[in-house]
Amino acid sequence: MNTNRLTACFSTHSKTWTILLAVYFLASCTRQENWAIHAGWTDSLIEKIESMKQTAPAAIIPYLDSTYAHTPDRSITDVWLKYKLKANYYSYITRDKQMRHQYIDSMEALLKGKETRLPYQYAQTLNEKGRAYTDENKFSQGFEAYYDGLQFSLRQKDSCALADFNTSMAMIVFAREEYDKAISYLLPAYAQALQCSAKNSSFNNTFLLQQGILNTLGLCYEREGKADSAIYYYETGLKLVENALERWPSNKTFITLVGAIMEGNLGGVLLNQGQYDQAEHYLLNNIKINDRTGFDKQDARTAKAKLIDLYLRERRYPAAQKLLTELQQGLLSATESGEGPKKIWIKWYLLQSRFLDSTGQYRQALSFYKRAGELNDSMRRLQSALYKADMDVAFKERNNQFTNHLLKKDAELKTAYLIAAIIIGCILFALILIIWINLKRIVLKNQQLEKINEQKRTAIKALLESERRNAHLMKLVAHDLRGPIGAIASIASVAEQEKENTFTNKELWEMVKLSAEKSLKLAQELLQQPDVHKKEKVDLAALLAYCIDVLQFQFQEKSQKVQLYADSIVVELYQDSFWRVIVNLLSNASKFSHHGTTIVLSCKADADGILISVQDEGIGIPSRLQPFIFDGLQVTQREGTTGEASFGLGLAECSAIVHRQGGDIWVESQEGKGSTFYIHLFLN
């Protein structure tokens, strides 16, 4: 077996995993400033847990539960961090796969529906999920989780999460010894980490994330044989450590541990460059810091292996033998499990073989060399799944799945649009059909209305002709009545002047005379139709009193009282026709009221005119007849309370006269309780 090949397998990338694990442990929620976060408390909690990993790992879970139980106002991010810390505990302390996945599932469930509000936490959950699967050699599922997280982080433009994902993927290809490809992930990860710290200069973003990337870049360039580049990134990392010690003194223990790991790696590069003094300085410093409780003893053993190599190169065999024995005892008493201790054992076997070979113990040297080869082959077989897994192919397949998913969603969306278009089309067709049917009905209604209007026009024409004939007939009647009525007036005038007349007789003859004169005037009006009459100023109070006097005999026959409440209002009216309206309304009030009742006639001014009312206590008007009493077309006549005849035409004439005066007339009536007729005359 090729010794150089075996030596190459003595990878120090276990130190890188230690740093990245610390990064993930210390990934607090400070990146989400809008959520309640206890940043200082979180950092001290994680530092305490890192210390307990070396001193009392079994007490970590009880300590976490107790701390959270006594922490008030725990936010979603605080609970998420608790799950994350427990997932990492079961990942690297107890190696309990089932419990690890249980807490990763809890992290994912806690963030369901909140992914865009807590993008970093969600991305870290997918990152943790990917690492869990790849640690179990389930590379297909692990690569899918990494791909989903990377795409999510790209959509969210979260430079912090992108740096984490690129680093995780770099570690996968690093473990496959594809260092050049690992560098292609790490360089953009470093640029993204710088952007992340510019947005949020927390301890995690400014120190831990960048430190892990710089250390891994140094290892990659070291394995590629590019020592200058490796030294540059290690020294850059150590400058970060120096600045961090000044900026975050409370994290001194952890920063010192990480710096020691970096020094051990730098010592290894300087060793291969032949700079033994500097290499020994850095390696001894690493061992001094990490080879104690609470620090990274496994990394100290790696540094011891490098220092043994240095002693053998310088032929310092006693020092090499002493350190070989010390390293063997440390490995035998080590509690760590996994690949890290096995790789150090391989290094120890090879170093022991070299030491024995250098001191002439060739058979024993060959035995240790074979044991190193067997252990290395065993590890290779265990890692065969990793070497067979192709992350690029997996990403391509996942991308194809994602593309197909998008195409499917697009097709579903187009189908939804098509269905919506069909539904809208159906609705529009239905609306058009309804509009067409209604238009057809409207046209039909218009035709029917036109027929009705034509019928009305014919009826109006017939009415006008009838009115013309009636007017002619009335003129004939008026002409014939003038003679007898004139004679009555003359007789009444002569009788009034008789000396024997008493005061009462005189008054009665005067009323006969006035009635005759009014009748003559009416006959004259009929003869003068359709001549236009002129309005004249009338005192309404006097006119209403006169109308009561005209009907006083009718009121006396039924023992009825008439009360007049009238303001003295002078208004322009067609007096000769208007007084007939009042007389007609008073006559109807008397006719349809019982003996001994009261009729109230009132007149008052209102805001826009004059309101006249005639109120009785009679039999009232049935509600079925009220809409028709003013049109004269329906049969509405009824007998009076004492059998008085009624023709049902008086109210129609009243309505016509009031409207000609520029007013309005209406009735309010309740059957059995009486009626009130109102006339409203507009002043303007």
290-319 confidence digits (pLDDT tens): 888 777 888 899 999 999 999 999 999 999
% the chain with pLDDT above 70: 76
Q: Is the pLDDT of residue 176 over 60?
A: yes
Residue 543: pLDDT over 80: yes
Type of residue numbered 448: Q
Instruction: Give the chain's length.
Output: 684
Return the pLDDT at 155: 86
For residues 31 and 288, give the distance between their C-alpha atoms in angstroms, rounded to a whole number.
35
**Phi then psi for 114, rounded to 5 degrees?**
-120, 15
Report pLDDT for 229. Answer: 93
Is residue 485 over pLDDT 80? no
Reply yes or no on whether the pLDDT at 590 is more than 70: yes
Amino acid at the residue 551: L
Q: Please report the sign of the dihedral spanned by the C-alpha atoms of residue 218, residue 222, residue 226, residue 231.
A: positive
- pLDDT at residue 139 is higher than 70: yes
Between CA 566 and CA 604 the distance in angstroms is 6
DSSP string, 434-466: HHHHHHHHHHHHHHHHHHHHHHHHHHHHHHHHH
| Range of lowest pLDDT (138-147, 519-528, 597-606) | 519-528
pLDDT score recorded for residue 78? 83
| 602 compared with 507, residue with greater pLDDT | 602
Confidence of residue 40 (pLDDT cuts 50, 70, 90): low
Q: What is the pLDDT of residue 642?
A: 84
Mean pLDDT of 79-88: 88
Q: What's residue 54's pLDDT?
A: 61
pLDDT on residue 458: 78
**pLDDT number for residue 235:** 93
Which H or E run includes 681? Answer: strand 674-682
How large is the average pLDDT for residues 637-659? 77
Q: Please give the Cα distance from 217 to 181 (Å, whole number).
A: 11
Residue 626: DSSP 8-state:
G
Tens digits of residue pLDDT in 327-347: 999 888 877 666 778 888 999
**pLDDT attached to residue 12:** 41
The pLDDT assigned to 23 comes to 45
* Average pLDDT taken over every residue of the chain: 80
What number is the average pLDDT over the span 487-493? 62
Predicted confidence band at 1 (pLDDT cuts at 50, 70, 90)?
very low
Mean pLDDT of 14-27: 44
Tell me which DSSP letter residue 532 carries.
P
Predicted pLDDT of residue 186: 92
Q: What is the pLDDT of residues 108-130, one digit of tens each?
A: 999 888 888 888 888 889 888 88
User: Sorting pLDDT into bands at 50, 70 and 90, what band is 30?
Assistant: very low
Give the lowest-confidence range in 173-177, 274-278, 315-319.
173-177
Whole-number pLDDT of residue 10: 32
pLDDT per residue as tens digits for the range 199-256: 877 777 788 889 989 999 999 999 899 999 999 999 999 999 999 999 888 788 888 8
pLDDT for the residue numbered 106: 92
Whole-number pLDDT of residue 634 = 55
Instruction: Enumerate helices (H) and strands (E) in the chain, giving the number of each.
Output: 26, 7
pLDDT at residue 257, as a whole number? 87
Judged against a pLDDT cut of 80, whether residue 26 lies above it is answered with no
Greater confidence (432 vs 55) lies with 432
Please tell me the predicted confidence (pLDDT) of residue 400. 60
Lowest-confidence range among 228-232, 378-382, 523-527?
523-527
Nearest-angstrom CA–CA distance, 378 and 372: 10
**3-state secondary structure (DSSP) of residue 564:** strand
pTM above 0.85, yes or no: no
pLDDT band, residue 34 (cuts 50/70/90):
very low
- pLDDT category of residue 323 using cuts at 50, 70 and 90: very high
43 pLDDT exceeds 70? no
As a three-state string, the secondary structure of 654-678 is: HHHHHHHCCEEEEEEEECCCEEEEE
* 167 or 513: which leads in pLDDT: 167
Note the pLDDT of residue 499. Answer: 56
Helix, strand or coil, per DSSP, at residue 604: strand
Average pLDDT over residues 184-209: 85
CA distances from residue 295 to 139, 282, 290, 534, 581 in whole angstroms, order as listed: 32, 17, 5, 124, 121
- At 191 the pLDDT is 92
pLDDT at 487 over 60: no
DSSP SS3 for 581:
helix
Mean of pLDDT values over 47-67: 79
Q: Which of 40-54, 370-384, 570-584 has the lowest mean pLDDT?
A: 40-54
Q: Is the pLDDT of residue 666 over 70?
A: yes
Read off the pLDDT of each residue in 465-485 and give the average, rounded to a whole number: 58
